[in-house]
């Protein structure tokens, strides 16, 4: 009987968290849409879950193939820091902005880049 109640609790948790997860995804997609548009890529690609990571890597200036590094556990974690710093560099933002707002609090940083005055510069 204990297993049935555990499963019921998990189901209740999923039902409670689900709407927040959907709202969070929509917020990130809107922010990435604007960032992609500023960088010259179709904004609609921000809606496709895996593709948006590869386009974000391209916006940062890396090859889209390097997006596969996210699949390797420790390497993906470290590569995400490199992508954040390179993305900040492309939008003329400093290292503090890149670390705190593009890596630790990425959706907030993407909203600032997308809806702020920052301009994308290819190098």
Answer whether residue 97 shows pLDDT above 80. Answer: yes
Greater confidence (14 vs 53) lies with 53
Answer whether residue 104 shows pLDDT above 70. Answer: yes
Q: What is the pLDDT of residue 4?
A: 66
pLDDT, mean over the chain:
92
Answer whether residue 96 shows pLDDT above 80. Answer: yes
Distance from CA of residue 117 to its chain's centroid? 20
Which residues contact residue 96 at a Cβ distance below 8 angstroms, ignoring those fewer than 6 apart?
Answer: none
pLDDT tens string 1-49: 467 666 777 777 777 778 898 999 999 999 999 999 999 999 999 999 9
Neighbours of 59 (CB within 10 A): 23
Q: CA of 95: how far to CAs of 3, 83, 90, in Å? A: 48, 12, 12
Q: What is the pLDDT of residue 103?
A: 96
Interval 87-107 mean pLDDT = 96
Q: What is the pLDDT of residue 1?
A: 46
Q: What is the pLDDT of residue 2?
A: 63
Q: What percent of the chain has pLDDT over 70?
A: 96
DSSP 51-74: HHHHHHHHHTTS-GGGGGGGGSHH
């Amino acid at each position: 009987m204990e297993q049935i109640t555990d499963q019921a609790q998990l189901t209740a948790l999923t039902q409670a968290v689900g709407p927040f997860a959907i709202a969070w995804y929509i917020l990130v997609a809107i922010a990435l849409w604007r960032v992609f548009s500023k960088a010259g890529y179709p904004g609609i690609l921000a809606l496709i879950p895996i593709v948006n990571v590869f386009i974000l890597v391209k916006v940062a200036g890396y090859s889209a193939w390097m997006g596969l590094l996210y699949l390797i556990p420790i390497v993906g974690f470290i590569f995400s820091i490199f992508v954040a710093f390179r993305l900040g560099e492309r939008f003329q933002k400093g290292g503090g902005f890149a670390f705190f707002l593009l890596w630790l609090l990425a959706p907030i940083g993407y909203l600032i880049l997308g809806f702020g005055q920052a301009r994308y510069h290819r190098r």
